[in-house]
Amino acid sequence: MSSFPNRTSFAKTNRINNHSNRNFKNKAIIILNNQLRQLLKKPNDHFSVGLVDESNVFLWEVIIVGPRDTLYEGGLFKARLQFPSNYPDSPPKMRFLSEMWHPNISKSGDVCISILQNPNTQTYGYEEHLQRWAPVHSVETIVMSVISMLSDPNVDSPANVDAAIQMLTGKNFTLQPQQQSIINRLFDEMLKKIGIFTGLIPWILMIITAIIPDTEILFGFDILAKTYDVELPDSFSGPLIVNRWLSLADHLYEREIRGPESFATWNGNVYASLADGRIIQLLTDNYRTVTFLNPENRSQEECRKNFQSSMGHCARPLGLRFSSKGQLYAIDPYHGIFEINIDSGHYRLLVDIDKHRLPDGESPKFLDDLVLIENPDDDDTMLIYMTDASQKWLLHDVYYTVGEMDETGRLLSFNTKTQQLRIELDNLAFPNGLVLNENKTTILLNEFNKRRILRYRLDRPGHYDILVDGLPGEPDNIKRSLNKNQETYWIGLFTGRNHHKPSFYLDTMAKHPYLKRTYFRMIRMIGFLFENIGRLLLCWDRLTQFGYDIRVANFMYPIVAEYGMAVEIDSNGRIINSLHSPDGYTSQLSEVYEFRNNGKERHFYLGSYSNQYIGRIIVPTNDDDKKYESFTDELQKFKIKNQEFCTIENCKEIA
């Protein structure tokens, strides 16, 4: 007699198993919904949670706050929890989306921790059976265990051997976490004891800066503030009518990147420049690092620190341009212009500011953007035009370039064959973004401080005229739109405003140079004080960063940029469209880059010198490639779910 069960037995067994699986899944859904509700009702200070997709309770997104007294302090790290259908009988899997360097997190982001190990699974770890997963654990206990792991790694059973070795040897780690914790606590106590004195410092420095006629001799710097008039539009009307396109933008890779200044496209792929020296390629739901520009052999960990990457120790790519042969050119204010092979990631310094000098022997000081003019008859010859934003201030002091109304900027050119660097225009007020016009006879140049766009004709060296004046904000980069029927350009503005709502720091203080000079002197000296105390303590990066952010006025950007805005102009300088973020959700724009995604959608990528995300607006397109709809037309045609645009009535206060 056969020992195999008959078909009836199989069917009965399958029905029982299916019923059991449904019960398990229903149980998991109830438990996960309850835990989510509790965490949303009573949030944890150390992390936040949410669903990746509202229809799938088995996939969670977690944002973890870097624990104090660790190398992760001050950061926000994104991870995902994937729960099995039989949760809580089996543990979830956790994977970091943010790049992590930790002994117990694999290089792909997978978390290796005892609490997430199934008790019935054989592993090569050293954890005991009781340390593994148990159904009594919740999402909160899981995440808190991972946070504890960040503070106290297990180097005996590493998922990332390289990180474990570096932690054991101390390489690339300023201090062991235990030592860092002790010093942090001691320093916190010291700050508490001198708290009263610290509170007096701003008042003391304010008096000093107000009465000293010249701080150059004592402190090595001074602010040459001057009075100037600020002309702003009377109101936001016509093509400047208020909308909420920027407020509805997606924020990609939030807290994973910093300073996506510029974009460029090759073979249907979009590339971006980041503040830590990386060039990345934007993928469908992620990004990949193409290369890490590292002329001074610094580590990526070093260059992620703002005060390191912004002091010239690391590369800081700004403007990007592709040649017709697919070579990417990235301009760096501290080093020059890099030529990059995007397939291999190899690069070379094509223009070296230490080697290539101007006729008077000077070097460029603050390179910002570039355009390429290729010679079709000679592959070895290319003319590169570039902006040198200031002869006084470096990139990290860019706020002083604006505050001082600096007019020492220049337009330069470099001939790749003769290796000659020359001055095309000088005495410019923070020259910034560049673009070559349609027939390649004229360069359009954004003058940030004067909020205008200049037109420089290549057949008339040394001369320019004004294309646009009195923009509703400071123009950063300028890029050609995809409009094939009309020559138009998108311009990112640092912050938008009109005559009814001027900026106190950018507009009101412009009329009071004495007040402005006192203010800038004060924050520079306060920042200098804290920054150098941090450097003297060697390991105190948190205080060094704090002082640096004050000294170079980084803290001012979100305060000043209250209103997000971008404009589209035609070839005659007429504003024809505008994008707004009245609530400041998407502001501090450096660039608006238009990209057609497989002909189905128009993507508008929103860059920024300082934001920790890439903004993106997606607009459905007409199938007819020749048909180009303006934003005004798109707004009338497409009513996107949950996207409410302000009308004239409910935006009167803004306009």
Q: Which residues are catalytic?
A: 112
d(CA 373, CA 265): 17
d(CA 250, CA 353): 37
Which among 488, 487, 490, 482 has a CA at the least distance from the CA of 622?
Answer: 482
Token look-up 């007819």 returns 624
CA dist 74 → 44, 195, 255, 281, 548 (Å): 16, 22, 11, 26, 15
d(CA 306, CA 313): 11
The SS3 assignment for 24 reads helix
Q: Which residues is 457 bridged to in the sheet? A: 442
Q: Sheet harboring 442-447: ordered strands across?
A: 431-436, 442-447, 452-457, 465-468
Backbone angles phi, psi at 97, to 5 degrees: -90, -35
Q: What is the 8-class DSSP label of residue 505?
A: I
CA dist 475 → 354, 391, 463, 581 (Å): 29, 20, 21, 16
d(CA 145, CA 143): 5
CB burial string 428-465: b at 16+ within 10 A, e below: bbbbbbbbbbeeeebbbbbbbbbbbbbbbebeeeeebe
> Cβ distance 407 to 393 under 8 Å?
no
Tokens of 190: 């010291």
* AA identity, residue 376: P
| Sign of the Cα pseudo-torsion (18, 19, 20, 26, in order) | positive
Beta-carbon count within 10 A of 425 CB: 20
Total length of the chain? 655
The SS3 assignment for 631 reads helix
d(CA 294, CA 314): 6
d(CA 152, CA 144): 12
Q: What is the 8-class DSSP label of residue 70?
A: S
Residues 6 or more apart in contact with residue 518 via CB below 8 angstroms: 206, 209, 210
d(CA 644, CA 392): 45
Task: Give the E-state strand segments of 209-318 in sequence order.
Answer: 250-252, 263-266, 269-273, 278-282, 287-292
> Cβ distance 616 to 602 under 8 Å?
no
The SS3 assignment for 249 reads coil
d(CA 452, CA 467): 8
Specify the DSSP element, H or E, that contains 219.
helix 216-219
